[in-house]
């Protein structure tokens, strides 16, 4: 089946605050499957529902995946809450919805996340390093926040100008 398209900056759907998932229905299971398919195809190490245009509080993550080993271990995270943050870490981030750009972002170095899995079972996870960074990046998507909202105003405006130029050139053909 065809892969779903990723919503890209500056699409206003990326700015919405997503709604909690109620019941875990077949539609939610299908959305989670679509999200994993897109994440591995890109490839990425995470993907949030708003990136496929769905304003729902769920994301998928696989920070262990590498192209060489292609060992898939996706985790579906539903209705997450970050219940503890500690320390600081700076990581060079990218985003599948923010084409052709990376920047250093400061985040909490360790987080504790509480969420539901696809079976509706509660998960509590303590994470650090890339895993902590990625959990916070994906969690931000659910609140309509992109990593470029967490960099300096100057860097963000330079990226916005570059992106506008890129889109104008694309529409000129
Ligand atoms: O949310 C997204 O758009 C996914 C994004 C997650 C992320 C990357 C880096 C830091 C924090 C969060 C990506 O996966 S971008 C692609 C990427 O980083 C990557 C892809 C393949 C292998 C390793 C990394
Ligand atoms: Zn992202």
> CA triplet 91, 137, 112: central angle to 5 degrees?
95
* pLDDT tens string 122-163: 999 999 999 999 999 999 999 999 999 999 999 999 999 999
Can you list the alpha helix ranges (DSSP code H) found in the chain? Answer: 26-41, 129-142, 153-172
90 DSSP 8-state letter? E
| Cα distances (angstroms) measured from residue 90 to each of 18, 71, 104, 150, 151 | 26, 27, 6, 11, 11
CATH of domain 12-172: 3.90.45.10
Model pTM score: 0.97
Which one, of 101, 2, 21, 111, lies nearest residue 63 by Cα? 111
Rounded to whole angstroms, the maximal C-alpha distance in the chain is 50
* pLDDT tens string 75-101: 999 999 999 999 999 999 999 999 999
For residue 131, give both structure tokens.
Answer: 């895993």
pLDDT score of 65 more than 90: no
Distance in Å, CA 93 to ligand 1 centroid: 7
Domain residue extents for the chain: 12-172
Which residue has the least CA distance to atom 4 on ligand 1? 46
Which residue has the least CA distance to atom 13 on ligand 1? 44
Counting ligands in written order, which one lies closest to the CA of residue 96? 1
Counting ligands in written order, which one lies closest to the CA of residue 147? 2
pLDDT at 8: 98
What DSSP line would sit under 65-81, residue for residue?
--TTT-----EEEEEEE
* pLDDT tens string 11-33: 999 999 999 999 999 999 999 99
Average pLDDT score over residue span 103-115: 98
> Is the separation of the CB atoms in 86 and 108 below 8 Å?
yes
């Amino acid at each position: 089946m065809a892969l779903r398209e990723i919503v890209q900056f500056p699409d206003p759907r990326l700015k919405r605050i997503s709604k909690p998932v109620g019941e875990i229905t077949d539609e939610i299971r299908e959305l989670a499957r679509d999200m994993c398919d897109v994440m591995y195809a890109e490839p990425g190490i995470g993907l949030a529902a708003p990136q496929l245009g769905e304003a729902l509080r769920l994301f998928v993550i696989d920070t262990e995946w590498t192209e060489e080993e292609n060992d898939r271990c996706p985790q579906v995270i539903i209705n997450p809450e970050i219940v503890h943050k500690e320390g600081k870490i700076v990581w060079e981030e990218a985003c599948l919805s923010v084409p052709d750009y990376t920047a250093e972002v400061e985040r909490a170095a360790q987080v504790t996340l509480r969420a539901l899995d696809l079976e509706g079972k509660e998960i509590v996870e303590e994470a650090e390093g890339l895993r902590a960074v990625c959990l916070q990046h994906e969690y931000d998507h659910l609140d309509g926040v992109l990593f470029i909202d967490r960099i300096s105003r100057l860097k963000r405006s330079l990226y916005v100008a570059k992106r506008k130029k890129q889109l104008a050139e694309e529409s000129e053909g």
